[in-house]
Structure 1
Amino acid sequence: MGRFDHRTVFVTGGTGGQGASHIRAYHAEGADVVIADIAEDRGRALAAELGDRALYVRLDVTDESSWNAAVQAAEEHFGPLSVLVNNAGVQNPAAPIETTDRRVWDRVLGINLTGVFLGIKAAAPSLRRNGGGVVVNIASTSGVGGTAMYAPYVASKWAVRGLTKTAALELGRDHIRVNAIHPGVIATPFITEPAADSDAPIADFYSAEPFAIPRLGEPSDITRALLFLTSDDASFATGSEFVIDGGLLLGPALKHETV
């Protein structure tokens, strides 16, 4: 038996590097998976690959009516939600605050923050109908410290932290846990390919050499933590923040000879 047998797991940004990793892992653990994304071709292809326990739904996370329709479709197909993973996110092109276009700010905050807010709002009644469940918001280490040239992204992820804690307080008595994961630099196209209108990918701004664990993360590093956090093994964890960054936030590791 899998840890998520007979549970419905809804993942936004479900066709991306991290999202598809999460979807495949939940499916392998027995879950009915809902692949929520605007990328219809990739979403339908992933659902076809996985088979009967997978459903693609088109979702614009900035649109409340789109959220309501997606959750309704998931319930009609599989029943009430057990898990919501707010994974969808975008990055802004690297630019100082003074030259950041207001439209970029609005887009990033709309997807990364408003999308999470609308997701919790739309999913909470379904999770209650299930008798409880788990929400995990995928934030970022940029929501723990500052990152020059990425003000919209940083601001959005800092705000997700507060939203996570507020939702945990509001929903805890309904047996709904709400937590956040802060990934570090993960080797996905989000990091390794240029953001829109940008000449350089985020990976160009980082070297993993100073990390305590000197490599970029893999999507599976986040997926494994997510599976634990949404399982019954983490039943006492809510309002918490889990940093998975290979030691990025610790500061540079000292070079030394192994004795």
Structure 2
Amino acid sequence: MRLEGKTAIVTGGASGFGAGIAQKFLAEGARVMIADINHDAAQDMATQLGPNTIAQQVDVGDQVSVRAMADAAYSEYGQLDILINNAGVTHLPTPLEDVTEEDFDRVFNVNMKSVYLTARAFVPDMKARGAGAILNVASTAGLSPRPNLNWYNASKGWMITATKTMAVELAPSGVRVNAICPVAGETPLLKSFMGEDTPEIRAKFLSTIPLGRFSTPEDMANAACFLCSDEASMITGTALEVDGGRCI
């Protein structure tokens, strides 16, 4: 029960890594808002996980939508202890000059602007209380970029730098900010990362991961739980590689 009495929001919480994090946080005693652009999926997940969850539809790249999410969280919980910026998108593997402006803007809004918007919505209250934990779900792509995922790589590199600058600025206020950097996992984005999902492409991808497997929602959830718990009270500004050795 490392998160007993804590309140948390997990964006992109209806599937993949976000759903795994939500489930882990509930098991550790937290109350969790599952925020997702797909309201029906968020509601289904909240129903599945039980009474300590609520669902909220959110477009994390839209200021009005993020503000509505914050208002709903404060109305339900009174305060927010943990913010998980997990929602993310990618573009298909494409030469950098051929990525459409529409795809670029979508990656920018969901992966980058969202961190700015949620910070505006939640940091003032955390600073006023002198407590809070923010976790940004970045990627090994931000540390060891691969060709043709160019602007996705860049967005996750931005998120890692944002994590560090947020951490150093907010530390005097008692607010910790960290990131986790997963390698690709069995999530809805896997096919988009690989371009197509075939045994041959999977084998090629897995050959770059020393531990020889994809990451799982449970892997991310365990790392997230530690970094957001009081056990990590001396850790801020880190970008933890949860990648099976991919970045070595």
TM-score by length of 1: 0.90
Partner letter of residue 236 of structure 2? T
Describe the SS at the equivalent of 2:168: helix
Where does structure 2 lack aligned partners over 5 or more consecutive residues? Answer: none
Structure 1 residues 108-146: Cα deviation after superposition (integer angstroms, max 9, x where no partner): 111101111211221112323554110010000000022
- 5 Å-filtered alignment, 1:1-259, equals 2-191=1-190, 193-194=191-192, 200-201=196-197, 204=201, 206-250=204-248
CA contact (8 A) 2:91 2:192 kept: no
Report which stretch shifted further, 44-53 or 179-188.
44-53
- Judging changes above 3 Å, is the alpha-carbon distance between structure 1 residues 202 and 222 closer, same or farther for their aligned structure 2 residues? farther
Q: 2: distance between equivalents of 1:199 and 1:3?
A: 39
Describe the SS at the equivalent of 1:189: coil
TM-score by length of 2: 0.93
Structure 1 residues 129-179: Cα deviation after superposition (integer angstroms, max 9, x where no partner): 554110010000000022111111011001111111111122111110001
Alignment: residue pair count: 246
Alignment-derived partner of residue 254 in structure 1: none
Structure 1 residues 3-33: Cα deviation after superposition (integer angstroms, max 9, x where no partner): 1111101110001211111111111111110
CA contact (8 A) 1:81 1:130 kept: no
- Judging changes above 3 Å, is the alpha-carbon distance between structure 1 residues 225 and 170 closer, same or farther for their aligned structure 2 residues? same
Partner letter of residue 78 of structure 2? G
- Judging changes above 3 Å, is the alpha-carbon distance between structure 1 residues 58 and 130 closer, same or farther for their aligned structure 2 residues? farther
CA contact (8 A) 2:85 2:134 kept: yes
Shift of residue 189 of structure 1? Answer: 2.1
Q: 2: distance between equivalents of 1:22 and 1:190?
A: 16
Partner letter of residue 144 of structure 1? L
- Judging changes above 3 Å, is the alpha-carbon distance between structure 1 residues 156 and 210 closer, same or farther for their aligned structure 2 residues? closer
Describe the SS at the equivalent of 2:189: helix
Higher relative CO (CA 8 A, sep ≥ 6), structure 1 or 2?
A: 2
Shift of residue 103 of structure 1? Answer: 1.4
Structure 1 residues 83-129: Cα deviation after superposition (integer angstroms, max 9, x where no partner): 00000000101110121111111111111011112112211123235
Describe the SS at the equivalent of 1:227: helix
CA contact (8 A) 2:93 2:192 kept: no
Q: 2: distance between equivalents of 1:207 and 1:97?
A: 20
Percentage identity across aligned positions? 35
Partner letter of residue 244 of structure 2? G
CA contact (8 A) 2:84 2:136 kept: yes
Q: 1: distance between equivalents of 2:21 and 2:233?
A: 20
Q: 1: distance between equivalents of 2:192 and 2:175?
A: 37
Structure 1 residues 29-65: Cα deviation after superposition (integer angstroms, max 9, x where no partner): 1111010111111111111222321111111101112
Larger Rg: 1
- Judging changes above 3 Å, is the alpha-carbon distance between structure 1 residues 149 and 163 closer, same or farther for their aligned structure 2 residues? same
CA contact (8 A) 2:176 2:236 kept: yes
Partner letter of residue 95 of structure 1? T
Where does structure 1 lack aligned partners over 5 or more consecutive residues? Answer: 251-259
Q: 2: distance between equivalents of 1:166 and 1:221?
A: 26
Shift of residue 199 of structure 1? Answer: 5.5
